[in-house]
Amino acid sequence: MTDKVSDELITADARRHGHPLAAAGLANTLIVVMAIGTVVWLGLLLNTMLRQPFEATDDLIWLAKLRNDRFLDLPLSPAWMLQSPFYRPVAEFLLKCLYALFGLDPTPYRYVQFAIFLLLMGLSLQVVRRLGLRPESVLLITVFAIGSPFISGSVVWISELPHVLVLVCFAASLLSVLSDNTDRVKLALCGLAYAIALLSKENGLFLIAFYIYFLRTAPLRAAIVFGGITLAYFAMRAVVLGSGMGTAGVDESVGYFFQMLSKEERLTLFSGHAVYKLYVYNVLAQLGALAFRITQWGVIFDRPHYQIIVETLSTALIVAGLVALRGRPQRHTLVVVVIAAIAIGGPLLSYSYARDRHLALPAFAYAFLLAIAVNELASFLPGRPRPTALIACVWVAWSLQAGLMLRQINWASGDVIERVYRANEKPFNPTLPPDVWATAREHALSLAPPSRQ
């Protein structure tokens, strides 16, 4: 009788300990599958980038300008072209270095772009750890960045590298405020990242949201740092650009939304001070694109598609997760507020044409909100595998979107090669030097399938 009772106790104890081990094994298996899948997506992203020709307008115009610029000219030179309302000396310095090394061969540029993207994901991993999120959350952020048209377009285009530099500055600022450094050091690092972001792309201005973090500990010092950098930046813009410093895209006739309207409809909807009405429309359109993907480049979709579903469900997860987060005291509440402010406020810096790529910064902030929200919701699930399974489900949803996005990028590059490069022996843009176009065209045609070369 005693032996029988002992056997039953041993069996029950084995079952009790075996279940957690099996659960941990399942969770680890899911993490391994996500990690392998993410590496595959990164490889496919690099392969897609290597098949991209130079963008026929923005890339070549910028590189042609930098060819004639000296390094010492860059701090006092407009960006992109000689007559432009853009001031981006940090981005120009990086692109000038790349041009000095690689000339008009796009392949090495792609490796540098990919390396910067990996740096961004490495910083994101450290931010995830500092926030106390599950490490697999960085895998979700990575596939989100690949699948989001707001981010992947900036990663792929050379002339959109300034957007990626701003994302790196954003991630570095997050890592700074989450570090164990003193507030004085945190403020110095955030100020440096803010200055680099501003001098890379105009929408770096929204990193001023990190001032919120210092409101309780160093409000006056932070106001001096962020305010001083901002004033110095606009003073330099005024010196370099003169009267053109604030005239980026105010012509209301260039909005992509207007391509869908007749002249009569345009006058009815945007009569009077049309540019201000168009600005309001574009801000709303970009918020709608970011949260629900109901617009693309300012144009409202006329039918549902997969990205509408995945964006809408992700936004629902963010709302649910932040509501749950609000009910519990958190160590990093101010950091979450900063991230949310950048995600919501980013679309306010809208051009008169609501291009998807202009949402790279708010979209990356959105990715962190999604990771935070999913982790918060996962904390309510009992057991080891269920929280990981929830993250894995969101990862799978965005992995499918990543595949669709890479397919779309590949199709677009093939279309540019055939429709623009092959069809135009002379420069597609008349302002381009013929030798620049000839070299870029030769590289582009070499990227075409063998049957078309």
Q: What's 311-336 look like in SS3?
A: HHHHHHHHHHHHHHHHCCCCCCHHHH
Distance from C-alpha of 61 to C-alpha of 55, rounded to nearest angstrom: 9
**Run of H or E residues at 299:** strand 299-300
Residue whose pair of structure tokens reads 């969770």 in the numeric block: 27
Q: Is 280 exposed, middle or buried (0-12, 13-18, 19+ CB in 10 A)?
A: exposed
Exposure letters 78-95 (e unless 16+ CB within 10 A, then b): bbbeeebbbbbbbbbbbb
The answer to whether 155 touches 117, Cβ cutoff 8 Å, is yes
In 3D space, the residue among 193, 254, 186, 264 whose CA is nearest the CA of residue 222 turns out to be 186
Which residues are CB-neighbours of 427 under 8 A, at least 6 positions away? 433, 434, 436, 437
Residue 1's pLDDT is what?
Answer: 47
Nearest to 134 by CA among 397, 334, 394: 394
pTM to 2 decimal places:
0.90
Task: Determine the Cα–Cα distance for residues 88 and 165; give it in Å rounded to an integer.
Answer: 11
* Count of CA atoms in the C-beta half-sphere (13 A) of 75: 5
Q: Please name the helix (run of DSSP H) or strand (run of DSSP E) that holds residue 102, with its range, or none.
A: helix 89-102
Q: Distances from the Cα of 290 to the Cαs of 44, 202, 362, 372, in angstroms?
A: 24, 19, 8, 17
Identify the DSSP state of 295.
Answer: E
Closest CA to 106 of 165, 160, 60, 44: 60
Model pLDDT, residue 20: 64
d(CA 183, CA 177): 8
DSSP letter string over 182-251? -HHHHHHHHHHHHHHHHTT-GGGGGGGGGGGGGTTT-HHHHHHHHHHHHHHHHHHHHHHHGGGTT-TT--
Neighbouring-strand partners of residue 295: 300
CA distance 144 to 237: 34
In this predicted structure, what is the pLDDT of residue 96? 96
User: In angstroms, what CA-CA distances link 400 with 134, 135, 349, 366?
Assistant: 22, 21, 30, 18
Confidence (pLDDT) at 139: 98
What is the model's pLDDT at position 350?
Answer: 62
Q: Which H or E run contains 22?
A: helix 2-50
- Three-state DSSP at 300 gives strand
Dig out the tokens for 189 from the structure.
Answer: 């690092």
d(CA 415, CA 421): 9
CA 277 to chain centre: 27
Mark the ranges of the chain whose per-residue pLDDT is less than 50: 1-2, 4-5, 7-18, 248-255
* Gyration radius from the chain CA atoms: 25
CA distance 71 to 100: 10
Q: How far apart are CA 177 and CA 185, in angstroms?
A: 9
Angle (CA) 352 355 359, round 5°: 110
Residues 6 or more apart from 438 whose CB is under 8 A from it? none
CA torsion sign, 325 to 327 to 332 to 337?
positive
